């Protein structure tokens, strides 16, 4: 079963706090790990795609790391802002074009 | 177009009715995907098109669901004899299909279907 699990399910932080969340996945047959951000009433937006063990990617205050041997990825947000409030989804592709999504981490940043 | 366009954005229908949801992908994107997100769940894969053909339809839940992409651009997801359990946000995405598995998907804003 290709389960992708995300934790925590939801997170509330104050503006300026740094935060991180986890995506876990079976490490066998891994191909690529995707992170998407989905703001309410908008389209999910691609953040990162990572394929190699040890990959680290950064986009502004958001960064992600990948460990394919143990089957996890972390997403970090430094100095959270209210506009970072969204659901963060991770997904695995397992060498197909069928992305298997986790249930997401819902982040709320309070001013 | 500039992005992936989905219509309608909201659809309320009665149990047993027929529904069509439309997706207009980014021009030049050969791959098109349909996903469904039910409350409290992550997006669930339904079907993937490469050009006009369905390359993988293993996610369609049953034969009430069907999708077409006759000219390799716009796609329509068709749901017959709708049931209350079909209520969800139906997401469409497209990609350049530069290679299996690492494609960045561009999503539409979704069509929210409510079956009463």
Which pLDDT tens digit goes with each residue over B19-75? 999 999 999 999 999 999 998 899 999 999 998 999 889 999 999 999 999 999 999
CB contact at 8 A, A84 and A14? no
B56·A97 Cβ contact <8 A = yes
User: Is the pLDDT confidence value at A84 over 70?
Assistant: yes
Question: Looking at the partner chain, which of A43, A93, A101 has a beta carbon nearest the beta carbon of B101?
Answer: A93
Beta-carbon contacts of B83 under 8 Å, excluding residues fewer than 6 positions away, are: B15, B64, B115
Q: How confident is the model at residue A52 (pLDDT cuts 50, 70, 90)?
A: very high
What is the average pLDDT value for chain B, to the nearest integer? 93
pLDDT surpassing 80 at residue A97: no
- With CB atoms and an 8 Å threshold, state whether A96 touches B100: yes
Neighbours of A77 (CB within 10 A): 21
CB contact under 8 A, A49 and B3: no
- Per-residue pLDDT at B98 exceeds 90: no
Determine the residue of chain B that is closest to A90 in CA distance. Answer: B42
The closest CB to that of A98, out of B56, B91, B109, belongs to: B56
Cα-based torsion angle of the residue sequence B91, A73, A85, A87 in order, rounded to the nearest 10 degrees:
30
Q: How confident is the model at residue A3 (pLDDT cuts 50, 70, 90)?
A: confident
How much is the pLDDT for B112? 97
| Distance to chain A for B15, nearest Cα, Å | 25
Q: Among B37, B1, B6, which Cα is nearest to B21's?
A: B6
- Give percent of chain A with pLDDT exceeding 70: 97
Query: What is the distance in angstroms between the Cα of A62 and the nearest Cα belonging to chain B?
Result: 18
Which pLDDT score, from 0 to 100, does residue A87 have?
96
| Least Cα separation, residue A42 to chain B (angstroms) | 5
Residue of chain B whose Cα is closest to the Cα of A102: B42
Collapse the DSSP code of B50 into the 3-class scheme (helix H, G, I; strand E, B; otherwise coil) and give the result. strand
């Amino acid at each position: 079963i290709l389960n992708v699990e995300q934790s925590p399910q939801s997170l509330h932080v104050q503006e300026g706090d740094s935060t991180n969340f986890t995506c876990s996945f079976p490490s066998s047959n891994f191909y690529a790990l995707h992170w998407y951000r989905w703001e309410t009433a908008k389209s999910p937006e691609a953040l990162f795609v990572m394929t190699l063990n040890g990959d680290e990617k950064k986009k502004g205050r958001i960064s992600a790391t990948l460990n394919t041997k143990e089957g996890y990825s972390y997403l970090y947000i430094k100095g959270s802002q209210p506009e970072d409030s969204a659901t963060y989804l991770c997904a695995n592709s397992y060498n197909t074009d069928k992305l298997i999504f986790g249930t997401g981490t819902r982040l709320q940043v309070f001013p | 177009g500039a992005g992936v366009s989905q219509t309608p954005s909201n659809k309320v229908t009665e149990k047993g009715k027929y529904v069509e949801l439309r997706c207009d992908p980014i021009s030049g994107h050969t791959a098109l995907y349909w996903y469904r997100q039910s409350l409290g769940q992550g997006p669930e894969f339904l079907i993937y098109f490469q050009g006009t053909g369905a390359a993988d339809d293993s996610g369609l839940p049953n034969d009430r669901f069907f999708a077409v992409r006759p000219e390799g651009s716009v796609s329509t997801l068709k749901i017959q004899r709708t049931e209350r359990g079909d209520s969800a946000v139906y997401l469409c995405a497209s990609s350049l299909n530069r290679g299996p598995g690492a494609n960045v998907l561009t999503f539409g804003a979704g069509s929210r279907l409510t079956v009463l």
